[in-house]
Amino acid sequence: MSEETNDEIELETDEELLEEEGLKEKLKKLREELKACQKEKAEYLAGWQRAKADFINARKDEERARAEFLKYSEEKTLYDILAVADSLELAMRLKPSEGMEQIYSQLREFLKSRGVLPIESAGKKFDPFEHEALEKEEVEEEARDNIVLEELQKGWRLYDRVLRPAKVKVGVLKK
C-alpha cells in the first residue's frame, strides 16, 4: 500500500504540475491579451480625443467664418448708399442748407453704425490701397511730392477693408 500511495502521489503531483504549467501558460496568454487590449483601448481613446478636438476646432472655424460673413454681408448695399452720400455732399457744396446738413449727418451716423467710416486723404501720403489718383499736379516743394493735394471724391472703409478708394489729386515733384 505504501508503494501505491507513493505512485498515486507522484501521479497526482505530475498532474498538478501539468495543470500548473497549463494555468501558467493560460495566465501568460491572458496577460498578453490584456496588454494588447489596453494598448488598443489607449489608441482608440487617443483617436477619439483627436476627433473630438478636430470637431470643436471645425465648429469654431465655422462660427468665425459665419461672423465674418455677417460682418461684410451688407457691403454691396452700403456701397450703393455712398452714391446718396456723394450727392448730398455735392448739393451742400452748391447750395448749403441746414436741412441737408442734418440729413447728411444722419446718413453718416447710419454708415458709422454699420462700420463704414470715411478715409482721411487730404494732406496724407498717397497710398494706392486707399486712394485712386485721378489727377497729378506738379509741385515745387519736395515735402508735397506724392502727397494728396485734394480729395475729389471721398473714400470709405468698411471695418478694416477699403469699401471705395478716395479719388484724389496727387502732388508730383517738378523736375
Q: How far is CA 87 from CA 82, 94, 100, 106, 153, in A?
A: 9, 11, 11, 14, 11
* H or E segment and range at residue 150: strand 148-153
Tell me: pLDDT of 21 over 70.
yes
Query: Is the Cα torsion angle 99, 100, 105, 109 positive or negative in sign?
Result: positive
DSSP string, 109-135: HHHHHTTEEEEP-TTSBP-TTTEEEEE
- Output the CA angle 151-154-156, nearest 5 degrees: 140
Tell me: pLDDT of 4 over 90.
no
Quick: pLDDT tens for 53-112.
Answer: 999 999 999 999 999 898 888 899 999 999 999 999 889 888 888 888 999 999 999 999
| Region for 161 from its dihedrals, namely left if φ exceeds 0, alpha if ψ lies in -120 to 50, beta otherwise | beta
The pLDDT value given to residue 71: 87
Q: Give the residue from 104, 105, 107, 153 showing the smallest Cα distance to 130.
A: 153
The pLDDT value given to residue 2: 53
Residues 146 and 125 sit within 8 Å (Cβ to Cβ): yes
The pLDDT value given to residue 22: 75
CA distance linking residue 147 with residue 96, whole number of Å: 29
Copy the grid coordinates of residue 33.
Answer: 491579451
> What is the value of pTM for the model shown?
0.66
Tell me: pLDDT of 173 over 90.
no
The pLDDT value given to residue 17: 60
The pLDDT value given to residue 41: 94
Copy the grid coordinates of residue 58.
Answer: 471645425
Q: How confident is the model at residue 10 (pLDDT cuts 50, 70, 90)?
A: low
